[in-house]
Amino acid sequence: MNKQFYRYLQHLHHFVQAQDKKIRALSASVAILENEIKDLKEKPSIRVERLEYKFDQLKVETLEGTLNIGLNPTDLQGIEDFSVNNDEINAPFSPKERMQMVVDIEDHMTNYMDSDLKSIVDEAKHQLNLRLDDSYTTFIRDDIKKQLPSRIEHYINQYFPAGRSPEQFEKCKEKIIIQLKEEINRGVFTFLNNLPDTVKGMNRE
């Protein structure tokens, strides 16, 4: 009986010692966390000012992309670099107005190709004495439509008006449309003229 009681007291003592060690370790961890929290509270807070994205402070170094239907790069006018100083400036038109111009021109040119491209291709085939099926016209139309946005951006960067009047906006849009139509007409002829000789030989009248 005494031995069993002694063993029980010994086991209880060891258990209490183990619990005491765990409590001490937890107390030490709590103290470390409290010190870290205190240090964080004492550090000065970091204030993040409002960041504004200024569309007009973009710098466009180069603009690449020509109609792959066969435009001669030497026929295209050079693109002037556009740069803006870090100083605040007043843009002639807002990004929304610029985007509206892109949409207007793209819609106009899409309608132009749907109504006139076939006759442009037929005229070029007649001048070159070629007999080609309609798949070439479809290919040319699809290729132009893919690259139309980049060509519009090219001419907007080149001709964007310096003023804000609606008249200047419309004049700029009309000028870009004329340039694109000339580019398409010239490109169609160049593309057909540069077809491989094997294709030309099979399709000449």
Say whether both 84 and 114 belong to one domain. yes
Domain shared by 135 and 102, yes or no: yes
Do 134 and 88 reside in the same domain of the chain? yes
**Cβ atoms within 10 Å, residue 188:** 24
Both structure tokens of 131: 């007999």
Cα atoms in the 13 Å half-sphere on the side-chain side of 191:
24
176 in Cβ contact with 159 (< 8 Å): yes
Q: Does residue 63 have a pLDDT over 80?
A: no
| Count of structural domains within the chain | 2
Q: What is the extent of the structural domain holding 170?
A: 55-203
pTM for the model? 0.53
For residues 176 and 100, state if they share a domain: yes
Contacts of 97 (CB under 8 A, 6+ apart): 169
Q: How much is the CA Rg of the chain, to the nearest whole Å?
A: 37
CA distance 66 to 89: 31
User: Is residue 87 scored above 50 in pLDDT?
Assistant: no
How many CA atoms are closer than 13 Å to the CA of 10, on its beta-carbon side? 6
Same domain? For 115 and 199 the reply is yes
Q: What does the mean pLDDT of the chain come to?
A: 73
Residue that is written with structure tokens 């080609």 in the block: 132
Which residues lie across from 204 on neighbouring strands?
130
Residue 161: the pLDDT is 65
Both structure tokens of 150: 């980049």
pLDDT at residue number 28: 78
Domain boundary among 31, 47, 63: 47
CA distance 60 to 199: 40
Q: Does residue 103 carry a pLDDT above 60? A: yes
- Whether residue 30 sits in one domain with residue 80: no
Angstrom distances, CA of residue 74 to CA of 27, 77, 112: 80, 8, 25
Inform me whether the pLDDT recorded for 75 exceeds 90: no
pLDDT digits (tens, 9 = 90+) for 1-38: 555 555 656 666 677 777 778 888 888 788 788 877 87
Of 28, 47, 66, the residue at which a domain comes to its end is 47
Both 91 and 170 in one domain: the answer is: yes
Percent of the chain whose predicted confidence (pLDDT) is above 70: 62
114 and 95, same structural domain? yes
Residues 13 and 60 in one domain: no
Q: Is 60 helix (H, G, I), strand (E, B) or coil?
A: strand
On whether both 99 and 162 belong to a single domain, the answer is: yes
Q: Hey, how many other C-beta atoms are within 10 angstroms of the C-beta on 1?
A: 5
Q: Are residues 117 and 192 in the same domain?
A: yes
Q: What percent of the chain has pLDDT over 90?
A: 26
Does residue 158 sit in the same domain as residue 195?
yes
